Amino acid sequence: MSGNSNGKHNGVDIRSESPLETLGNAVSKAIDPYGVTTSMLAAQMAWLMHPQELARAANALSGDLFALQSHIMRRALGLQSADVIQPNADDARFADPVWTESPSWDIVKEWYLAFTHRLEDMFFETPGLSEKERRRSAFWLRNWLNMVAPTNFFWLNPVAMRRFVETNGESLKQGWEYFQRDLKAKNILMVDPEAFTVGQNLATTPGKVVFRNRMLELIHYEPTTDQVRAMPIVIVTPWINKFYILDLNAKKSLVKYLTDQGFSVFITSWKNPDAEMAEVRFDDYLLEGVSEAVRVASEFCKQPKVHLVGYCIGGTLVSTYLAWANRRYGHDKVPVAHWTLFTTLTDFAHPGDIDVFIDEACVGALEESMAKKGYLDGNEMASSFRMLRSNPLIWHYWERSYLLGEPLPPFDVLFWNMDATRMPRAMHAYYLREFYLNNNLIKRDKLTIAGEAIDLDEIVQPLYVVTAEDDHIAPWKQCYRIRKVINVEAPVRFVLSTSGHILGIVNPPVKPPKRAYWIGEPVRNEHWEHWFERAEKRDGSWWEDWVAWLGERTGEWVEPYPAANRKFPALGDAPGTYVLEK
């Protein structure tokens, strides 16, 4: 009997989908493109088809339940008994002492945690499914389990009932008003939308808008020192959010910190696109965005080169621009001397928790939605990111606002997080498909952007990289791969900061230090584990190390540049007008 290289046996194409698979995929694409139910059903079917593994999992759960029965009996008799299942270290739902001190509520907590932990473990370890499908099914299961936690229901939440008694019912009355407020806002609010005003108590560092086009406003900040470094710093912010995360207030502002250290700082404030910008492409963000920002800053300071910084998707754009510029101008004539990346992905093979939203069906559904409006609404994207951390970013506020009747905290980072922006249809569809879905940025000459084939290996400029230990949007181990994809001759200094995607960057020096960081210079093919083993751990903020690194590379001290000049007159005061657009 001979084989068949075409994948056929006796005239049957065994590579094609079965009618059942075809129907299942069609139904998934039509009514459940994000796999909310289909992924969980697939996991359940997979377990039923693996009875031995199911029996072992059931045996492990029964062991927990047996231990839990013993724990309940001891608590019922008034005896001390250690919890059978401990909440995860970052799970604050059961932090109130009543969940441990009261036997009744301790039992409620323990039953919930026992089933939650075992079910999540089961879905993560589902036999017969791909890793991605296991993670997706576990993701949706976790969100469902988070939703039905006892802390989210008044009659199962002793803290809420105690609060009701203490306030003579005022807490629930106030909670009902907050519920109506959020219904009107069509969102579970995390911060009072009236708590801050951009330009008054946020984004207050003095500066001028010195350039404006349809894509961005470029802000140049007033000097605060008698002399400044000759070479300017250009910061390319993410257009997924507004720029002032780097200029929240005087104590947290990276912009103010840099100006106070004697640097001339320019920053991008991106236009909040509407339907008229539906056809704006990634190419336009490169040519009319970062390339123009570099040109203006260079001409403004009469310096041939700048230091270029990119944050998140702004860093992905900066990486693309550097590859583009090295090919367009040649290594020596690139108008960027060196560069910095904050929590930036260039290799999207493992992009973190957001991967559950990245496949053909999800991207196709988003493309259809964007085609109708011309953009992706910022609240839709914000909701997706909140679901990645639904306990602290959704259900925490459900409990605090509706069950406890507590007012929203005036937290500037949360205010910025809720100040959502839109994504142009053409750009975002291209970004999702070519970067996330196909991971083409790291493939040599696979992408052609703004007339040049993109090869990250063309980048030879020295690089400073900052990542965050708890970053679930740009995982640091994936960000580390920038060392592998840029040119081996490019020196790289790599930082791993404690905290997450935002607070790992918005990380000013304070005394005593709140955070720490690891720092070292990886070689091209060094694994992250080897780098981490030899990296130096330091208490405090990486800002200080970065400023020292910049100081060695940004030229001599010169007379400070004015916020605006004759060639680039002030078009308005910072923070400009684009940042105010809703």
What does the alpha-carbon distance between residue 108 and residue 78 come to, in Å, rounded to a whole number?
Answer: 16
pLDDT band at 530 (very low <50, low <70, confident <90, very high): very high
Which residues on neighbouring strands pair with residue 452, listed in sequence order? 449
Identify the three-state secondary structure at position 464: strand
Is the pLDDT at 20 greater than 50? The verdict is no
pLDDT band at 274 (very low <50, low <70, confident <90, very high): very high
CB-neighbour burial class of residue 512 (10 A; exposed 0-12, middle 13-18, buried 19+):
exposed
User: How many angstroms separate the Cα of 147 from the Cα of each of 21, 68, 104, 140?
Assistant: 31, 23, 21, 11
Give alpha helix (H) positions in 98-157. 98-101, 103-124, 131-147
Q: What tokens were used for 13?
A: 């194409």
Please provide the average confidence, as pLDDT, over all residues in the chain: 91
Mean pLDDT is lowest, of 93-107, 482-496, 566-580, for 93-107
Closest CA to 393 of 381, 385, 402, 401: 385
Identify the three-state secondary structure at position 40: helix
What does the alpha-carbon distance between residue 175 and residue 170 come to, in Å, rounded to a whole number?
Answer: 8
Is the pLDDT at 441 greater than 60? The verdict is yes
Which residues on neighbouring strands pair with residue 235, listed in sequence order? 267, 309
pLDDT, one tens digit per residue, over 158-214 is 999 999 999 999 999 999 999 999 999 889 999 998 899 999 999 999 999 999 999
0.95 exceeded by pTM? no
What letter represents residue 509's amino acid?
P
Closest CA to 413 of 573, 247, 227: 247
- Neighbouring C-beta atoms of residue 322, cutoff 10 Å: 25
Query: Higher model confidence: residue 1 or residue 235?
Result: 235
Is the pLDDT at 18 greater than 50? The verdict is no
Res 31: pLDDT = 65
> Which residue among 301, 312, 362, 479 is the active-site one?
312
Res 383: pLDDT = 84
| Peptide bond before residue 491 is cis, with ω within 30 degrees of 0 | no
Is the pLDDT at 505 greater than 70? The verdict is yes
* % of the chain surpassing 70 pLDDT: 95
- Neighbouring C-beta atoms of residue 302, cutoff 10 Å: 11
Q: Is 362 a catalytic residue?
A: no
Instruction: State the Cα torsion 349-355-360-362 to the nearest 10°.
Output: -160
pLDDT band at 14 (very low <50, low <70, confident <90, very high): very low
Pairing type for strands 536-539 and 463-468 reads unpaired
pLDDT, one tens digit per residue, over 408-440 is 989 999 999 999 899 999 999 999 999 999 999
What does the alpha-carbon distance between residue 577 and residue 571 come to, in Å, rounded to a whole number?
Answer: 10
Going by C-beta distance under 8 Å and a sequence separation of 6 or more, which residues neighbour residue 332? none
